[in-house]
Structure 1
Amino acid sequence: MGLGLLYVTHANKNDAEELCKSLLNEKLISCANFFPVNSIYNWKNKLIKENETVSLIKFEKSKIDEVENRIKELHPYEVPCIMRIPANANIEYEKWVNEQ
């Protein structure tokens, strides 16, 4: 048991929602939140500045590898940003996440 938390970037809100809907339908995750962000980074020797959407994805911790692998399969980016974040939550919320 425990809470898994991933920070994932997407090109836009629609891409983020579609990916997370798939994960929800496959019973891999419990919940996702979406946030607009402004990103700046180097890609293939070019400075890129663009708007993206971040999803904060919550799930039962033992599914971490399965969730991450599925995101890699579904994500359109050549190198998706998938960051594992250590997380603890109140007992009631963790119980809800683990029951989904």
Structure 2
Amino acid sequence: MSNLILVRITCPSRRVAEDIAEVALEHRLAACANLEGPVSSTYRWKGVIEQSFEFILWLKAPEANWGKIDALVQRVHPYDVPAIVAMPLTHVSSAYEAWAIENTES
């Protein structure tokens, strides 16, 4: 089992996703960011089913950085309730994991 997580954040625009990625990498919270989208999202908000286009930001980071990443997203994301989830990475090549840890250590 690896000590890395894959964090998934939905963002209302490419700019928001890029801004979060830049801060996460600048502060060494994540080693890598990938951006996908736009994707179509359907969800219930305040009792109404909504549809919108969003961008998906993926961050690869040490599990120990989850709290700081969550705090960053809560601080800068424009949504009242940003969708931020993390999944443990159970299988990671040893070279990639070493690179990710090296690039997130202060």
Aligned pairs for 1:33-44 (under 5 A) are 33-36=34-37, 37-44=39-46
The DSSP-based 3-state class of the residue aligned with 2:79 is coil
Give the Cα–Cα distance (whole angstroms) in 2 for the partners of residues 45 and 64 of structure 1: 30
Identity of aligned residues (%): 28
Where does structure 2 lack aligned partners over 5 or more consecutive residues?
none
> Residue 94 of structure 1 aligns with which residue?
97
Aligned pairs for 1:16-95 (under 5 A) are 16-36=17-37, 37-87=39-89, 88-95=91-98
**Per-residue Cα deviation, 1:37-74 (whole angstroms, up to 9, x for no partner):** 11001111211111100011111222111211222111
The DSSP-based 3-state class of the residue aligned with 1:85 is strand
Please give the root-mean-square deviation of Cα atoms over the aligned residues, in Å.
1.2
How far off its partner does 1:78 sit? 0.3
Where does structure 1 lack aligned partners over 5 or more consecutive residues?
none
TM-score normalised to the size of structure 2? 0.87
TM-score normalised to the size of structure 1? 0.92
Matched pairs, number: 100
